[in-house]
Copies of this chain bind each other. A is one copy, B any other.
Amino acid sequence: MSSKVLIIGGVACGPKAASRLKRLRPDAEITIIEKGKIISYGACGLPYYVEGLFSDVSELNKTPIGVPRNPAFFERVKGVKVLTQMEALKIDPVKKAVRVKNLETGAEEDMAYDKLVLATGGSPSRPNIPGLDLKNVWFISHPDHVVSLKKEVAEQGLKKAVLVGAGFIGIEMAEALVQQGLEVTVVEMIDQIMPGVLDKDVATFAAKHLRQKGVKLVLGECVNGIEGKEKATAVKTDKQTIPADIVVIAVGTRPNDKLAREAGILCTKQGGVVINEYCQTGNKDIYAGGDCAVNSYVNGSVGAFLYVPLGSTANKHGRVIANHIAGAPTPFKGITCTSIVRAFDFTIGRTGLTEKQVRELNMDIETFTWAGPDLPHYMRDHKPLVIKMIASRRDRKLIGVQVAGPGNGAKRLDVAAGMISMGGTVDQLADVDFAYAPPYSTALDPLATCAHMMTNKLDGIAKGVSAFEAKKRMDKGEVLLIDVRTPAEFETNQLPYDVLHIPLGALRGKAAELPKDKDIMAFCKISLRGYEAQRILNAAGFDRVQFIEGGIVGWPFEVKTLK
């Protein structure tokens, strides 16, 4: 057991590793050094401070019962020494020492270690454009940022916000600023929100909601610069100039791996310290965890090192590091890339791999998109939910799940994350004994129903087509569309195409009148009846029948509302 443990970074992984290690090895002499003034804060809570869900930003670095998590707290309660405003300048892996600088006094010294933990976190990526240093341009990664942002908004009466980047922080900040009464535009270089996280179809569906809530989305445009003399006045894209008196840059996070890199520790080309399942770096006495490190995928199916900076993973890393230093190693098998974001009434998230990722990997997969209510219709709180599922054709294993909608998608993501990490098939997922009572789910859980439909597709029974694929063919006028909803539904809203309206109950009787030499696509509100229509027509001798997955509820594009 080594006695001197030095931890660089005091936000999430570092304090977790320190506290856990001290509990396991009370004799360890543990020091955390942190460049900033505060430690152990919940950076994920920053957008909710902006939104106004709590008014004292220092809540973010208090314990749940209101005790500040400051150096004195760590000393007294955790038995860990914390030095703030202390920057690590250089690691000497041979001497096993770190050169540090006291940012208050400017004094430098060497701190020796037996084990070193790099928990240096990540920083907001800075795009290579002019204007980032103008006033009223913010990055969101530290409590100071949101305090100054809120203050300026209030004092200067700022009104027009442009957010650069439609990832998690961009979307969380969009909601926060809309709730604060600002006009919000989000500019994203890629032609969808949450690129890399969601497939384009789910992203398009979710984007519709953001627009309905008043967020202006500018997708597929590159920001070339921020204009203004002293203060930002506009954001210039490759296509337009958008007036702005507040600009938030949220184009991703980059790992703070400079220290490691300079010490010769293996990092990936794209950035991020490479660690093994015990969070060890290439140097056996140096660990890394949290937002400065890259992760493995839980089942090894993705070759690349994954950079998914998250407070949850940082905490897990901290524990793994402590256990290994303490001599009780516990391997961490990796992540399933789970992410979630609340966007107004929507929950949007993903676990496992996206369709785009697996198509690029040439995996043989099937997808299914389900839409429906998350509770029985007679429970007044029921809300619609869209689930996109991806499974392997070869072994029927669940590969990924994406959710979007006002319904309870968070629960389904967590279940799917568990099933993916256990290597479960969609058949096993469908048979999970979900907790059923009307306040909590439908008799068959939406995730189970979606898994059933996936098995129907894998078995060649259900011929679903995604909304994106359907739209392409509909736009070309290649298909006969049959809307099998009731007359009352049909009078409420419609897809903006020529459709034949045959309520499902009348379909058996009218099948003889339909053409067998044309591709038919059936749909309904959620396409459960659309699927039944396909089976009815199959039984009547029709081969060229599909149904549009997700129906009208899951339609990512505009719907014609009639009344």
Asked if A444 is at the interface (CB within 8 A of a chain B CB), the reply is yes
Q: Are A443 and B336 in contact (CB under 8 A)?
A: no
- The CA-CA distance from A333 to B428 in the complex, in Å, is 9
Would A424 and B427 be within 8 Å (CB), given that A76-B505, A310-B436, A444-B316 are in contact? Answer: no
Please tell me how many copies of the chain the complex holds.
2
Q: Are A532 and B77 in contact (CB under 8 A)?
A: yes
Q: Are B380 and A312 in contact (CB under 8 A)?
A: no
A559: min CB distance to chain B, Å: 16
Q: Which of A211-219, A249-257, A535-543 contacts B (4 or more CB under 8 A)?
A: A535-543
Chain B residues near A436 (CB-CB < 8 A):
44, 310-312, 338, 340
- The CA-CA distance from A485 to B459 in the complex, in Å, is 58
Asked if A167 is at the interface (CB within 8 A of a chain B CB), the reply is no
- The CA-CA distance from A461 to B323 in the complex, in Å, is 12
Instruction: Scan A425-458; emit 1 where CB is below 8 A from any B CB, else 0.
Output: 0011111111111111101110010001001000
Asked if A525 is at the interface (CB within 8 A of a chain B CB), the reply is yes
Chain B residues near A351 (CB-CB < 8 A):
433, 435
Asked if A59 is at the interface (CB within 8 A of a chain B CB), the reply is yes
- The CA-CA distance from A310 to B62 in the complex, in Å, is 44
- The CA-CA distance from A70 to B435 in the complex, in Å, is 28
Asked if A48 is at the interface (CB within 8 A of a chain B CB), the reply is yes
- The CA-CA distance from A380 to B53 in the complex, in Å, is 7
Asked if A421 is at the interface (CB within 8 A of a chain B CB), the reply is yes
Q: Which of A301-332 contact B (CB under 8 A)?
A: 310-316, 319, 328, 330, 332
Chain B residues near A60 (CB-CB < 8 A):
378
Would A312 and B443 be within 8 Å (CB), given that A298-B433, A421-B432, A437-B340 are in contact? Answer: yes
Chain B residues near A168 (CB-CB < 8 A):
437
CB-based nearest B residue for A335: B433
Chain B residues near A310 (CB-CB < 8 A):
436
Q: Are A434 and B338 in contact (CB under 8 A)?
A: yes
Asked if A142 is at the interface (CB within 8 A of a chain B CB), the reply is no
Q: Are B379 and A53 in contact (CB under 8 A)?
A: yes
Q: Are A443 and B315 in contact (CB under 8 A)?
A: yes
